Amino acid sequence: MTESSAASHDHVATKTARRVRVGERLRQHVEELLAKHVSRMRSDPAIPRAKDLPTAVLEDHAMSFLGDLFQSLVVLEENEKIADRDESELLADGTRIQTLIAELHGRQRHGLGWTERALEREYDILREEVESIVRRYATDAEGVGEAAWAVEAADRLLANARKASFRAFGEAAHGNPTG
């Protein structure tokens, strides 16, 4: 290995370690994120039903979803250690779990009488809170570059969840609650 390739390998390993720490740190702050998410939903005029629902109902699905989402950030960076599996294989189970949770969430919100606008606003708030917590905890030690990477990856995963949730919401609205 040449000196330049060794330096490049060390840089990649350091970047990978920093990104793994970002995902791990975010998992530690899921409850904080949920508390802010619920508080904002309760006070948002686009989500009037949130005001009177128990916290457990508003948090339902989110703890599992966010834990898996942040774990996906770790998996995205750990994949180079598992040479015989590509990124899509490593993320396949997590993607299926996130999709199932999002579908259940969409059906549940429909059953609670939410509008599509309320569901849309809930996902907007969730994305904003995820970005906020990423920027707060990822930049402390890892720097802005790792925070930007984590925001971009989380946005992609949240966009997929939003689509699945709206699909299930629509199916429930049309009398097909099982998808």
pLDDT in tens, 84-141: 555 566 677 788 999 999 999 999 999 999 999 999 999 999 999 999 998 888 765 5
User: Nearest-CA neighbor of 69 among 162, 136, 174?
Assistant: 162
For residues 84 and 137, give the distance between their C-alpha atoms in angstroms, rounded to a whole number: 32
For residues 150 and 27, give the distance between their C-alpha atoms in angstroms, rounded to a whole number: 12
pLDDT in tens, 24-52: 888 889 999 999 999 999 999 999 999 99
Mean of the per-residue pLDDT values of the chain:
83
81, 33 contact by CB (below 8 A): no
Q: Where are the domains of the chain?
A: 3-173
pLDDT in tens, 1-10: 555 444 444 4
For residues 108 and 173, give the distance between their C-alpha atoms in angstroms, rounded to a whole number: 11
Radius of gyration of the chain (CA): 18
**Interior/surface letters 76-106, b for 16+ CB within 10 angstroms, e for the rest:** bbebeeeeeeeeeebbeebbebbbbbbbbbb
Domain at 3-173: CATH code: 1.10.490.10
By three-state DSSP, how is residue 141 classified?
A: coil
